[in-house]
Amino acid sequence: MPKNRLIGNLNEGWRIAMTTLTHERGSASFGTQVTIRNRLDTIIELAKQVYRNGKPLSADPVFRQKLADAYIRVDVMRLNNYRTISSQLRGREPGPEASLEKLYWSETHQNMQEVGQELLGVHAQLSPASPYYPTSVDLQYLFLFSRAETIFSGTSEIQKNIIGERVLGLPKG
């Protein structure tokens, strides 16, 4: 590779790649949290309009608990973002704790989309273009995409290994 195309010092490509991924994992959660919150608000509103056994699904205590859990998880994401921003404002570079954020938001979004599929019930089999589909939001696509989020930027399993080794100080295993 020509010297003028080299990023960083020679033989430091792995360090640069890992630094880039760490920044991506940590900063991606800022916008992601807002997006996930908007999607959760859609699911909450839809739960008020979808009826099961003559009552809105939002009145079902088990389903309400799932909505509350999703709401709390998204709020934890928001608070983690404040911690990350505060740390960066003090000049601290993101470290392995960025894996905590990536793991948390990808798994939270996946969990929330499972709640969305439960909300759709039999309508989840329909195309969003169907006049019988209960919302303008393509919850099937979001459900499938949430699976990909636990893979890109490092799988959830890789994030757990990083957290175990570099945050908790556990031996490699």
List, by residue number, the catalytic residues. 24
Is residue 90 within 8 Å of residue 129, measured between CB atoms? no
Q: Per the structure block, which two tokens stand in for 156?
A: 């959830």
Cα–Cα distance, 129 to 110 (Å, whole number): 23
Is residue 98 within 8 Å of residue 22, measured between CB atoms? yes
Cα–Cα distance, 110 to 159 (Å, whole number): 16
Is residue 118 within 8 Å of residue 143, measured between CB atoms? no
Number of Cβ within 10 Å of residue 3's Cβ equals 6
Q: Which residues make Cβ contacts (< 8 Å) with residue 95, sequence separation at least 6?
A: 22, 166
Q: Give CA 53 to chain center in angstroms.
A: 32
